[in-house]
Structure 1
Amino acid sequence: MKLNLKISLLALLLPTLLLLASCEKKNNSSFQASAIIEGTAIKVAAQTGGYLLHVNVEEGEEVESGDTLAVVDAEKLGYQLAQIQASLDELNVQHRLATTNLRRAQEDYDYAKTKYERYRDLVEKNAASQQTLDDLKIVHDRATTALESAKQSLQALGSKEKGLAAQGKLLQRQINDAMVKAPISGTITTKFYDAGETIPPNAPVVEIIDLAKMWTKVYVSETYLPHIKIGQTAQVKIDGTSQTLSGTVTWISSKAEFTPKNILTPESRTALVYAVKISIENPDRILKHGMPVSIIL
């Protein structure tokens, strides 16, 4: 009787023990997924359009930040800038003349005002004629008008000077932008134009990818997400070789999303997953943009 009871209890507990063992194995197993390596790709544009004088790089060439990649012909812009500078020089002369005229107008106004006020006091005391005061009033009003006109002329010249200076700065910026420089250090992956071609403004001339620091994304189900932490080390295996690199989890999405169609995992696809970004140092340039790899966490 006791033997039969033990057998019955064992039969009841066996499925539970097998389930616990299965969960423990699953929790201890590592996460593995296929991914595509990506780099920071920048299309470097020529903000100034025109005739392309030089393209100083070729595809596959390494460049440093600040290197001159291409040069657009800016000769016409230089002529326009010289014309603006000549206009500014002329305005400078006019500004000095207007300043002199304003000073004279101010002196004439002060003299006319003083004389008018003096004769006005004399007329009140019956020591001067009203006709003389009326004549001085006319002179005073004319001096006032001339002073206001001199002030407005000087102000107008100042506004023109500011406008021309702004045009000059814009032209100088366009001339500077004719020198297409590398915004980052990296590798030239694509060259869109060659020397001798005419390019429109803001057209990309080359594409640069920083191969020294690569990254990829894997998509993790909510059941495995608690096992992944920021700063966690990831193994990066290059498909078709025995090489393995080390990566670091640098970002975990806080929002669930549907699994992208181009993402394949050994596990069964789940409805919702979380994106995990893994950054990989690539000093020897082993990894390439678009290279398939296997990620193990």
Structure 2
Amino acid sequence: MQAARRTKSIIAVILIVIISAVILYYRLYNKDEIVGYLETTGDVEATEVEVASKISGRIVWLCCAVGDVVQSGGEAVRLDSAELEARLAGARASVASANEAVAEARVLHENAVAGLDASKGQALAAASEVRRVQALLIDAKANLERADGLFSGGFITKKDMDFAKAQHDALQAQLATGAAQKRTADANVKIFALGIKAAAAGISTALSRVNEALAAEAASKVALSDTVINAPADGVIVYKSYESGETVPPGASIYTINDLSNMWVRVDIEETVIDKVRLGAPVQVFINNRFDRPYDGRIIEIGELAGFATQRDVTRGRQDIKTFRVKAGLLKPDGAFKPGMSATVRIDTSVT
């Protein structure tokens, strides 16, 4: 009786081993034998973003440790800003100085314009005076010649002759003075015209300096703003490359963030069954061997190029098997998934 029971137990164990072997074989070599499904394993991945510095600087504050949650736009890193603040103050002083230079150049221009207008008026007045004196001098010269003839004939006195000569000489002196005034006024017109050009050039130069100073100020503002580095996305800190007090070069990653709201399982599907996988096909994902708790998802990417057989396949003597990389996106990860975890993916192959 006991021998019979022992025999039955041995048979039961053998059956369990056989069934387990069949299931194992089925899972490893006949993944698509379940009608309408393809089951395989893969690794959980997530969108990965870097928190990087645009400028070189010494880190004075870090928001988080590995594993902490960050929000998009929140402050993640602060760099030492003392030098950049001083540079910005200097740039602002340069802007103020350049604006003062523009104001001074404009005053010079206005004075030159006023001087030119006055000189033109003086030149016109001097020219008019010269013409008036020239007309009077013509009459005075005629009177002098007439007086000289009358004096020679004894018809007028020496006093009359001297008066005519004095009038003539006075008008000649006036003409010389007027001509000199006209030359001075004409010269002033040229001088102030050149002054206007020089002042205009000075304004242009000063404005260029203002623009340069404003550009330097803007660059300083941008550099100063870059001392505060914000998180580019919601997620969890998975790696920290620097500590407070260290100097970070431009472009270097300080934090690595995984966006846990955008996760997927990467699986390698053999070429023999890849034709049964469709974009958008529903999937069920299982982790921690909890096949009673599926997570819904969809196929979001199918690789275009085949890769070589995995190491596991090679060890089984299946070197010729090639695979395609497929991503199964998770609809609601709900915090249960972590990048790097192993997961089982059951793909609905009934979708056409």
Query: What is the TM-score of this pair, normalised by structure 1?
Result: 0.75
Equivalent positions of 1:127-142 (< 5 A) are 136-142=185-191
Tell me if 1:158 matches 2:207: yes
Shift of 1:28: 4.7
**3-state SS of 1:31 partner:** strand
Count of aligned pairs:
271
**3-state SS of 2:198 partner:** helix
Tell me what 2:104 maps to: 97
Shift of 1:200: 2.4
Shift of 1:193: 1.6
Q: Which runs of 5+ in 1 are unaligned?
A: 1-24
Q: Which has the larger radius of gyration?
A: 2
Shift of 1:246: 1.4
Shift of 1:275: 4.2
Shift of 1:189: 0.7
Tell me if 1:178 matches 2:185: no
Is the CA contact (8 Å cut-off) linking 1:219 and 1:259 kept in structure 2? no
**3-state SS of 2:336 partner:** coil
**3-state SS of 2:280 partner:** coil
Q: 1:43 aligns with which of 43, 50, 54?
A: 50
Tell me what 1:290 maps to: 340
CA deviations on 1:172-219 (whole Å, 9 max, x unpaired) are 112111112111010011111222223223322211111122023445
Tell me what 1:281 maps to: 331
Q: Which runs of 5+ in 2 are unaligned?
A: 1-31, 136-174, 348-352
Shift of 1:104: 2.1
Is the CA contact (8 Å cut-off) linking 1:48 and 1:72 kept in structure 2? no
Compare 216-225 and 126-135 and name the one that shifted more. Answer: 126-135
Letter in 1 for 2:300: T
Is the CA contact (8 Å cut-off) linking 2:271 and 2:321 kept in structure 1? no
Q: 1:30 aligns with which of 27, 30, 37?
A: 37
RMSD of aligned C-alpha atoms? Answer: 3.6
Change (3 A) 1:262 1:60: farther
Is the CA contact (8 Å cut-off) linking 2:309 and 2:319 kept in structure 1? no
Tell me if 1:149 matches 2:193: no
Change (3 A) 1:117 1:292: farther
Letter in 2 for 1:278: A
Change (3 A) 1:264 1:148: farther
Mapped partners of 1:223, 1:121: distance in 2: 110
CA deviations on 1:5-41 (whole Å, 9 max, x unpaired) are xxxxxxxxxxxxxxxxxxxx97954233332221111
Tell me what 2:169 maps to: none
**3-state SS of 1:193 partner:** coil
CA deviations on 1:69-97 (whole Å, 9 max, x unpaired) are 12111011111111111121122222211
Equivalent positions of 1:239-254 (< 5 A) are 240-242=289-291, 243-253=293-303
Tell me if 1:201 matches 2:250: yes
Q: 1:238 aligns with which of 287, 291, 294?
A: 287
Tell me what 1:12 maps to: none
**3-state SS of 2:37 partner:** coil
Mapped partners of 1:220, 1:113: distance in 2: 94
Tell me what 1:190 maps to: 239
CA deviations on 1:246-294 (whole Å, 9 max, x unpaired) are 11122345x434347579699x776766543322134422111122222
Change (3 A) 1:284 1:137: same
Mapped partners of 2:325, 2:115: distance in 1: 80
Mapped partners of 2:217, 2:309: distance in 1: 51
Letter in 2 for 1:248: R
Shift of 1:151: 1.0
Change (3 A) 1:40 1:240: same
Is the CA contact (8 Å cut-off) linking 1:249 and 1:278 kept in structure 2? yes
Change (3 A) 1:68 1:122: same
* Identical aligned residues as a percent: 22
Is the CA contact (8 Å cut-off) linking 2:265 and 2:343 kept in structure 1? no
Hey, which of these two has a bigger chunk of helix by percent? Answer: 2
Mapped partners of 1:123, 1:228: distance in 2: 107
Letter in 1 for 2:338: K
Is the CA contact (8 Å cut-off) linking 2:295 and 2:333 kept in structure 1? no
Mapped partners of 2:339, 2:188: distance in 1: 83
Mapped partners of 1:275, 1:228: distance in 2: 11
Shift of 1:150: 0.8
Letter in 1 for 2:48: A
Mapped partners of 1:51, 1:224: distance in 2: 54
Tell me if 1:213 matches 2:262: yes
